[in-house]
Amino acid sequence: MPRENEQIVRKYFNQTDSEHVWKCKCGKKLTQKKGTGWTNLMNHIKNQHPEYSTTQATGQPSSSSFLSPRNSLVSRSALNVYGWIEWVCVGLKPFSFTEDPLTHKYTNLGSMTNVTLKKYMEKLTQEVEKKISDELPSKFLLVIDGWTKGSTHFIGLFASYSCNYQNDYCTVLLAFSPMVSETSFTASDYVEFIEYVLSVYNKNLENVVAITGDNTEVNKSIANLCRIPLIGCAFHKFNLAVSAYLDKQEVLLNKINTLMGKLKSLKLAGKLQEKTPLQPIQRNKTRWSSTYDMIERYIQLKPFLDSFQGDPKLVNYLLTQLDHNDLQTLKDNLGKLRSVTVALQRTEIDLGDARILFDEILALYPYEEFKKYLLPLAAIVHSPNFESGAVKILQHAEAELTADEVAALHQLKVVTDMSQQSDLPVEDDDFATICLKKQKKNKISPQQYLNCRFLLPTSNILERFFSSEGYAFNDFWQYLTPMNLEMQLFLKVNRAFWDEDLVSEICNRS
C-alpha cells in the first residue's frame, strides 16, 4: 500500500525546492515530511480529487458528476465554482439560483452565496477580457447596434476578425452595456463609448478597419468621426427596399388586412372555425414578413369565404377575383424576396454573397424602390469604394480594383515578405531554373489582402444576440444591475474563452 500511495501522490504532486513542501497540479501546496508516509498528501487527493479511486479501480477516469479527464486535476472547490458559474451564465439563471433550496435538492454542487458567485464571475470576466485582448489581431471589424429595455438603452459591440478556423472568421462580444451618460446619444457620445471599450482590450480606433451597422445617420456620423468605413447592414437595406415596394401595394394590402380583422370578430370567427381550424392573420407593418404570412393565410382561407358572400357584416369587405389574382402574384414575388431575407441571416454569408443576391433582385425587379437601396452606388451606401473593393477581393478579382477602391482598402493590405519565398533563385540553381523562378516572382504580388470574410455584411449577429438572450430580461432583469447583466451575458457569449482550468487558477489565487 505505501508503494501504491506513492505512485498516486506522484501523479498529482511535484516536490518543490523545499524537501518537505509538495505542490499539487491543482495549485495547492502541502507539507509532508520525509519518512512519515503520504497521509497528508493522500488526504488532499481523497478530498479534492475523489475521481482517483475510480481511476485506480477501473483504469478509467470517473464519469460521475461533471468530472472528466480534462478536469481531473482541478480541485473539488474549484469545480464547484466552475459549475455554478457555468450553470448561471450559460443557463441564464438569476444569481439567487445558487441559494434556492430546490436547486440544491437536485444537484451535487456545494453551497455558494450569490455574493461569492459574483466575486468569482468578476474575476473570471477580467481574465476573459485579457484573453480576448491577446486574441484580437491588430485589424478587426466592429459590429454595433442598440437595444432598449424599459428606459435603459444598451449598446452591443462585437468584434469580427480573420482566422484560420471557424469558417475563416471569429467573433467575440466586447461589450453590452448602457452608455456612460444616458442623457445624451450623439455620435460623439457613441465614439467615446467605443474608444473606452477598445481601451479595455488594449486597442484603439486605428485597429478598426470598418464598422458594420444599420444605415442610420447616427452610424454614418460615427464612421465619419472615426474616419472608418461603414458597411451598411445589407439586411437593413433590403428591408427598406421591400418596405418601399410594399408601399406601392398599400391599397390592396389594406383591403386584406381589414378583411382579416373582420374575420377575427367573435361571430364571424366562430362561423369560420366551423369550416377550418385556420385562424385569420393580420400584418405587423414594422415587419414586412408578416405581410407575406397574411397574404398566404388569405389564399388558404379563400375557399371557405364563399359561404360569407351573403353576410351583410362581411360582404363589403370581400375581395374581388381581380384582387385575388393580384395577391397571388404579390405572394409569389414576396416568396422570392423572403428567401433572400432568410439567406441574409445565415452566418456564412459574406459581402460578395450579399452583392450577388442584390444584383439578382435588381435584374428580376428593376424598380426604383429597389435601385434606391440595393445598387452599389446608392445614396444610402456610406463607403461604396470600400464595399465594392471588398466584394472584388472576395470574388478573387483584385485585378479589377480601381484606384479609389485600392485607397479605401489600405487597412486590409498585408505586406508579404518576399525574402521568405521558397521559389527565389539560389546559388546552386541552373540557368533555366533561375529564369523560371524570376518569371514566377514577377507574377507574385508583394501586396495581398486579408481574407475579407470577416467583414460581416449585416449586423444580424447582434440581432440574434438581442433575440436569443432577450428573454433573460423578462423575469429577473429588473433585479440585475446593468454591470451584472453584462457580465453574465459576456461570459455566456464568450464561453470558448474560459474553462475549469482558468477558474481553478482564479480560485488558487484567491
Q: Do residues 477 and 149 touch, judged by C-beta distance below 8 A?
A: yes
- For the purposes of burial, counting CB atoms within 10 Å of the CB of 293, is it exposed (0-12), middle (13-18) or buried (19 or more)? middle
CB atoms near residue 97 (< 10 Å) = 17
Kindly state whether residue 321 falls inside one of the protein's structural domains: yes
Q: CA-CA distance, 262 to 219, in Å (whole number)?
A: 42
Kindly state whether residue 401 falls inside one of the protein's structural domains: yes
List, in sequence order, every residue forming a beta bridge with 415; answer none if it has no partner: 447
List per-residue pLDDT tens for the chain, 510 residues long: 555 677 777 777 777 766 678 777 776 778 877 767 778 888 888 777 765 654 454 444 443 444 444 455 788 899 999 999 999 999 888 888 999 999 988 898 999 999 999 999 999 999 999 999 999 999 999 999 988 777 778 899 999 998 764 447 899 999 998 876 666 678 999 999 999 999 999 999 999 999 999 999 999 999 999 999 999 999 999 999 999 999 999 999 999 999 989 888 878 888 888 888 999 999 988 888 899 999 999 999 888 887 777 777 787 888 888 998 999 999 999 999 999 999 999 988 999 999 999 999 999 999 999 999 999 999 999 999 999 999 999 999 999 999 999 999 999 998 655 444 455 555 666 766 666 666 555 444 445 888 899 999 999 999 888 887 665 555 555 567 778 888 999 999 999 899 998 999 999 887
Strands (E), 191-348: 208-213, 230-232
Q: What are φ and ψ of residue 165, in 5° steps?
A: -150, 180
Q: DSSP letter string over 463-506?
A: HHHHHHHTHHHHHHGGGS-HHHHHHHHHHHHTGGG--HHHHHHH
Radius of gyration, CA atoms only, the chain:
31
Kindly state whether residue 203 falls inside one of the protein's structural domains: yes
* pLDDT at residue 431 in the model: 67
Where is 257: in which H helix or E strand? helix 250-263
Residues 6+ apart with CB under 8 A from 387: 229, 231, 232, 351, 376, 381
Kindly state whether residue 81 falls inside one of the protein's structural domains: no
296 and 248 part of one domain:
yes
Which of 15, 36, 58 is where one domain is finished? 58
Kindly state whether residue 229 falls inside one of the protein's structural domains: yes
Q: What are φ and ψ of residue 174, in 5° steps?
A: -90, -40
256 and 289 part of one domain:
yes
Kindly state whether residue 157 falls inside one of the protein's structural domains: yes
336 and 272 part of one domain:
yes
Strands (E), 193-267: 208-213, 230-232
Of 360, 459, 447, 464, nearest in space to 409 by CA: 447
Q: CA-CA distance, 233 to 213, in Å (whole number)?
A: 5
Would the pTM count as exceeding 0.85?
Answer: no
Order of all β-strands in the sheet with 140-149: 169-178, 152-162, 140-149, 208-213, 230-232
140 and 222 part of one domain:
yes
Q: DSSP letter string over 14-79?
A: EE-SSTTEEEETTS-EEE--TTS-SHHHHHHHHHH-THHHHHHHHSS---STT--TTTTTS-HHHH
Kindly state whether residue 408 falls inside one of the protein's structural domains: yes
- For the purposes of burial, counting CB atoms within 10 Å of the CB of 13, is it exposed (0-12), middle (13-18) or buried (19 or more)? buried
Q: CA-CA distance, 510 to 507, in Å (whole number)?
A: 5
30 and 130 part of one domain:
no
CATH of the domain at 476: 3.30.420
207 and 279 part of one domain:
no
Kindly state whether residue 360 falls inside one of the protein's structural domains: no
The C-alpha angle 460, 465, 471, rounded to 5 degrees, equals 135
* pLDDT at residue 59 in the model: 44
Q: What share of the chain is helix, strand, coil (3-state, %, to 5)?
A: 55, 10, 30
* pLDDT at residue 131 in the model: 95
Count how many Cα atoms sit within 13 Å of the Cα of residue 143 in the half-sphere of its side chain: 22
Which of 344, 374, 401 is where one domain is finished? 344
* pLDDT at residue 191 in the model: 94
241-270 burial, b at 16+ Cβ within 10 Å, e below that, comes to: bbbebbeebeebbebbbebbebbeeeebee
The C-alpha angle 496, 502, 506, rounded to 5 degrees, equals 140
Q: How do residues 252-310 score in pLDDT, each as one tens digit? A: 999 999 998 988 887 888 888 888 899 999 998 888 889 999 999 999 988 888 777 77
340 and 300 part of one domain:
yes
Q: CA-CA distance, 505 to 36, in Å (whole number)?
A: 30
- Any idea which residue has 518576399 for its cell? 418
Q: Where are the alpha helices (DSSP H) in 309-430?
A: 321-344, 351-364, 368-374, 384-394, 403-408
Q: CA-CA distance, 222 to 194, in Å (whole number)?
A: 10
Q: Do residues 85 and 121 touch, judged by C-beta distance below 8 A?
A: yes
Q: DSSP letter string over 71-104?
A: TTTS-HHHHHHHHHHHHHHHTT--GGGGG-HHHH
Which of 322, 344, 366 is where one domain is finished? 344
449 and 502 part of one domain:
no
271 and 307 part of one domain:
yes
* pLDDT at residue 435 in the model: 65
216 and 155 part of one domain:
yes
Q: Do residues 301 and 308 touch, judged by C-beta distance below 8 A?
A: no
* Domain tally, the chain: 4
141 and 225 part of one domain:
yes
Q: CA-CA distance, 133 to 330, in Å (whole number)?
A: 50
Q: CA-CA distance, 404 to 1, in Å (whole number)?
A: 78
Length of the chain: 510
> In terms of residue numbers, what domain contains 200?
125-233+459-509
253 and 314 part of one domain:
yes
Q: Do residues 82 and 67 touch, judged by C-beta distance below 8 A?
A: no
